[in-house]
Homo-oligomer: A and B are copies of this chain.
Amino acid sequence: MKKVKRTTIYDIADKLGITASSVSRALNNSSQVNEKTKELIMKTADELNYKRNILASNLRKGQSKTIGVVVPRINQNFFSNVIAGIEEITYQKGYNLIICQSGEQHDKEIQCVNTLINQHVDCIVISVSADSYDYQHLQNVLDHGIQLIQFDRVAEELETLKVINDNVQASFEAMSHLIEGGYKRIGLLEGPQNLSIFKQRKEGYLKALQLYNIPVIEELIVENAWTKELGAQGTRKLLSLPHPPDAIFASTSDFSALGVLDVANAMGIKVPSELGICGYANESFSEITNPSITTIDQFSVYMGNTVANLFFQEIGNTDTTAKPKTISIKPELIIRGSTLKNGVH
């Protein structure tokens, strides 16, 4: 790679026998510079293949026009969709995105956040990792005067902008659908309860049981079943109970639901007639399993859009007394074959 000296505004200025100030102003389309010289400068800039050095510009202006995003994994459907949604909006506004993955590890999450603070990003967007136990690093972001937006998996105690799904409601609707469909004994595969989203989904589960006057049976609730394997494992446990459930709500993910389906198939248990299954997240595969899996769509790309729009909205907001907003997106229950006990739709 040959080292190339890149052209600066000084090069342009020298060539035209003027000052860098004028060049800068011209390039920023300031009204302070004569139209004719402006054209001349533009033309020369083009000829010399000039590209503004954003580092210098941003240093001077004290901004970075950059947004940092921290997610557990980039290559997880939900997150890559949210990122795509953020990028759509930020790109138009000339903002850049720096992406980091925490790998679900608290330590790496802290590192990522610190890196982004170092970068002087204008905003940090984060969905916290599963094993996060404290939020000092997020407080730190605020202390640096950097905008912080949490989405989906949020630390509720922190007063920041938030974009979330209404997990309680979605979970409640899924359960109502199961109950009204004729399922009477519904098991729950739940996720790590330190994450509020999983707590809320459990809340919806309990709320539905209560409303329909169904007793809560502790042994039907399996903790920490949020991968395909753990879902399968939990299902085996549930189905070998003396009095097994006739439906399982895999509240953690469709992957978990897939584990349920696998085990049911392996044990010769018919879905949906003998066992109903409901997942969460509307992963692309949930549509093509056999039977297809009832699940909950989170509008992930839209969620990303919302996050970005929220940032741009707040950017001009100087009202320091305003309470940080929380935007809640209502997820949608997608009813499919795996919960149609009586074949109806």
Contacts and interface: CB of A to CB of B under 8 A. Distances in A.
A4 interface: yes
A81 interface: yes
Given A74-B80, A77-B75, A144 B51 contact: yes
Contacts of A117: 51
Interface stretch (A98-106, A162-170, A268-276): A98-106
A73 B64 contact: no
A201 interface: no
Contact of A96 (B55, B77, B119, B285): B119
A17 interface: no
Interface in A221-245: none
Interface stretch (A83-91, A125-133, A175-183, A326-334): A83-91
Contact of A75 (B52, B83, B99, B147): B83
A98 B97 contact: yes
State the main secondary structure of chain A at its contact with B.
mixed
A59 interface: yes
Contact of A144 (B6, B77, B119): B6
A98 B100 CA distance: 10
Given A55-B59, A74-B84, A91-B101, 7 more contacts: A6-B120, A49-B140, A51-B114, A53-B118, A54-B119, A66-B98, A74-B74
Interface string A115-152: 10111100000000000000000001001110100000
A35 to B, nearest CB: 25
A1 interface: yes
Contacts of A4: 143-145
Interface in A22-77: 49, 51-56, 58-59, 64, 66, 73-77
A289 interface: yes
Contacts of A290: 289-290
A55 B53 contact: no
A314 B317 CA distance: 45
Contacts of A96: 98, 115, 119
A119 B81 CA distance: 25
A91 B100 CA distance: 8
Interface in A274-311: 283-285, 288-290, 301
A118 B75 contact: no
A222 B94 CA distance: 40
Contacts of A88: 101
A54 B120 contact: yes
